[in-house]
Amino acid sequence: MFLRHMLLAFALTIAALAGAAPARAEDAPPVAVAARLADDGEAAKLVFDLSGPVAASARALADPDRIVVDMPEVSFQIDPSIGRPRDHGQAIVKGFRFGLFGPGKSRVVIDLAKPACVANVATTPIAKGATPSRLAIALKRCEPAAFAQAAARDALAGAGPAPAAVAAAAPVADRPVIVLDPGHGGVDGGAYGIGGAIEKTLVYEYALELQRQLEAKGRFKVVLTRHGDEFVSLDDRVRIAREAGASLLISIHADMLGGAGSYVSGATVYTCSERASDAEAARVAAHENAADKAAGVEDKAQAPGVADILFDLEKRETRAYAHLFSRGVVAELQGKTQLNNNPERSAGFVVLKAPDFPSVLVELGYLSNPKDVQSMNSPEWRARTASAMADAVDRFFASGRAAAAPSPDAAALAASDRTAAGGPAAGGVVPGEPAKP
Ligand SMILES: [Zn+2]
C-alpha cells in the first residue's frame, strides 16, 4: 500500500549506562535518547529527543551531497545503526550519522539521496517551560542548482581552520614511537557489520590491546591517534603521528563486503602505493579515504594528493620499510588467525602518505563474515593476534633496518610495483630482513 506520507519511526534505544557520569549535572552535555525520521520524498524531518536544549546550525556540503548540523557536545545514547544507509524508495534522506566531532563539539551528518535544502533547524522544549527538548532538522526537496548554490554559499561562510585535534604527546628520543591509529570514531562509525558490529568500536578495542602488548615489551613508546569515541580527520592522524616522532604507524580497520561477499574473510595488511595492487585494494583505499567525507569534513584544496607525495624519493625509501614490516606482520599472523587469500596488498591510502616514517594499514577481517566478526569480538583472539603483531614490531626494530640508512635493495624494492596478485613483484629476499625461524 502506498502511503503519501511515509513515516519511518525508529526504535528508541537508550544505553543502559553511559558509565562515566560527570561529577556535576550542570557540566554534563545534553543527552540524546532517541531519533526519528519522517520523509515523504518532498520534505523530510529528522528529530532528536534531548535532555536539554542545544544551539545547532546546518549547512549544505556537496559531493557527496549532505547536510551537516553542528552543535555543542551532545551525548548520543542512541544506537548508531539507526541511521544506517538504506533504500527508502522515494525518500530524500539516504541515511544519517551523529557523534562527537571534536572537543566539545557534536555533529549530525545527513546523507542525501536527492538534492534538498535546509528549511529550518530549531530546538524547542517538549512542553512549555520544560528542559527536555527536541532538535528538529527540516529539509525540503530542491533543484540540483539550488543545492549547489547553497553548498557554495555555506562553503564560503564556513571556510576556516579545521577543528583542533587532540594534542600529541611529546616525542621520546630513546625508544621507537609506535603510533596506533584506530580508524574512524565519533561521527564516523566506519563500516556497520552483521550482528550490530561497528568498525570504530572494534578497531579501538583492538588498538588498546595492541598498545598493552607493545608497552609490555618495555622497548616502545605507544601513541594513539584517537582517545575514545572521537572523530579525527585523516590529515590530523598523520600530523599527530609526525608530532609524536613516529617510527612506525599502524592504522587499524575492519572491512565490509556487501552482497554475496559474506564468504570472504581474513586479515589483510596494506601498504601505500600510487597504483593499487589489485581492484580489491583500490576499493578498500577509496572506502577508507572517504572517512573525512563521511564525517562532513570539506576537501582541503591545498592538501597534496597521495600521488604527488609518493613520487618523492624519501617516500620510496620509507615504502620499502613499510613493505618489509607488512611482510613481517603477515608472517607473524600466519597460523594465529585467518589471513585473506591475498594478505599483502597496496593502494593509495591517505593515512599512509607520510614520507618520513613507514606506515601500514591492517584490515583485521570482514564485518560481513560471521566468523571474522566472532573473532574480532573475542578478547582471546585480540590478545593472540595483537601479540603476533607486537612480535612483528619487535622483529622489525630488532633488525636495526628501520633506523639505518636505506640500502639500494630497499629502494629497488620500493620502486618495483606489486603484481596484480598482490605479492611482491621482485619476490626476492631483501638483505637484512628479519628471518623467520
Ligand atoms: Zn575503516
- What letter would DSSP give residue 13? -
CA of 9 to the centre of ligand 1 (A): 29
Copy the grid coordinates of residue 181.
Answer: 591509529
Give the chain's residues under pLDDT 70: 1-26, 128-129, 158-173, 298-316, 399-437
pLDDT for the residue 318: 80
CA of 428 to the centre of ligand 1 (A): 31
- List pLDDT tens digits, range 80-110: 888 988 777 889 999 999 998 888 889 999 9
CA of 255 to the centre of ligand 1 (A): 6
CA of 256 to the centre of ligand 1 (A): 9
pLDDT for the residue 158: 60
Q: Does residue 248 contact residue 402 with C-beta atoms inside 8 Å?
A: yes
Model-level pTM?
A: 0.62
CA of 333 to the centre of ligand 1 (A): 20
CA of 194 to the centre of ligand 1 (A): 15
CA of 318 to the centre of ligand 1 (A): 23
pLDDT for the residue 399: 64
pLDDT for the residue 339: 96
Give me the domains of the chain, ranges plus CATH numbers: 9-17+28-158 (2.60.40.3500), 177-415 (3.40.630.40)
Looking from the CA of 103 toward its CB, the CA atoms found within 13 Å total: 7
Distance CA 218, CA 167 (A): 24
CA of 53 to the centre of ligand 1 (A): 33
CA of 393 to the centre of ligand 1 (A): 22
Q: Does residue 421 contact residue 342 with C-beta atoms inside 8 Å?
A: yes
Nearest CA among 332, 399, 400 for reference residue 360: 332
The partner residues of 179 in beta bridges, in order of sequence, read 223, 249
What sign for the dihedral angle of Cα 260, 266, 267, 272? negative
CA of 200 to the centre of ligand 1 (A): 8
Distance CA 251, CA 263 (A): 24
pLDDT for the residue 33: 87
Distances (CA, A) of 386 to 36, 176, 225, 321, 390: 39, 18, 18, 20, 6
CA of 201 to the centre of ligand 1 (A): 11
Distance CA 65, CA 92 (A): 11
Copy the grid coordinates of residue 64.
Answer: 557527496
CA of 432 to the centre of ligand 1 (A): 32
CA of 122 to the centre of ligand 1 (A): 33
pLDDT for the residue 26: 57
